[in-house]
Structure 1
Amino acid sequence: MTESFIKDPSARLDYQIDWSDWLDDETIAVSVWIVPAGITQYGVATSTATSATIWLTGGTPGTDYSIVNQITTTEARINQQTLKLLIRER
């Protein structure tokens, strides 16, 4: 599943993926974010037992970026979800 968000290039915002529906009785053991060139991760990404959060800034107006969150569960299952950032002047 890919969620899309419109972001101004100067905005510094947090984005979260809620994994609770997919996890069943498991929890997140490791969360890794893959951020393409042109977008900057601001600060440290965090995760809870059921969600992962990243802070992002930057981007080129008119450009769309795919930011991927890959998790590993306590049962060693691995899955990914993608956030799509649409960079637009606001």
Structure 2
Amino acid sequence: MSLTVKDPQARVDHAIDWSAYLAGQSLVASLWTVAPQEEGGLAIEASAFEAQRSSARVNGGIVGRVYRLTNRVTLSDGQVDERSVTMRVEER
């Protein structure tokens, strides 16, 4: 899991390139989640995916809080996998 710092006023895109993990498969579904979910916290504004890459635009967050942004994908052979990134919100 990697760490990213985000300003609470920033709207940022985060992407995961799944190509190294796919072994000939492709993405058929992608779901992004944030934990913890809280009023004024980090939120997913939009998401998208292609055959080997998924992305999400996130906004908000409370200064001083740490969030886990997780992408859970389903592969063309039915396997399910996920990757997470930690986002710390700071005034920048």
Measured against the shorter chain, the TM-score band is over 0.9
Q: Please name the residue that 1:85 is paired with.
A: 87
Overall identity of the aligned pairs, in %? 27
TM-score of the pair, normalised by structure 1: 0.93
With 30-39 and 5-14 compared, the bigger mean Cα shift is at 30-39
Q: Please name the residue that 1:22 is paired with.
A: 21
Q: Please name the residue that 1:40 is paired with.
A: 43
Q: Report the secondary structure of 1:60's partner residue.
A: coil
Q: Please name the residue that 2:61 is paired with.
A: 59
Q: Partners of 2:47 and 2:8 in 1: how far apart?
A: 19
Structure 2: gaps (5+ residues): none
Structure 1: gaps (5+ residues): none
> Could you give the per-residue CA deviations for residues 28-78 of structure 1, whole angstroms, max 9, x where no partner exists?
010011123211111x30001111100000001111100110000000010
Displacement over 2 Å in runs of 4+: none
Provide the aligned C-alpha RMSD in A. Answer: 0.8
Number of equivalenced pairs: 88
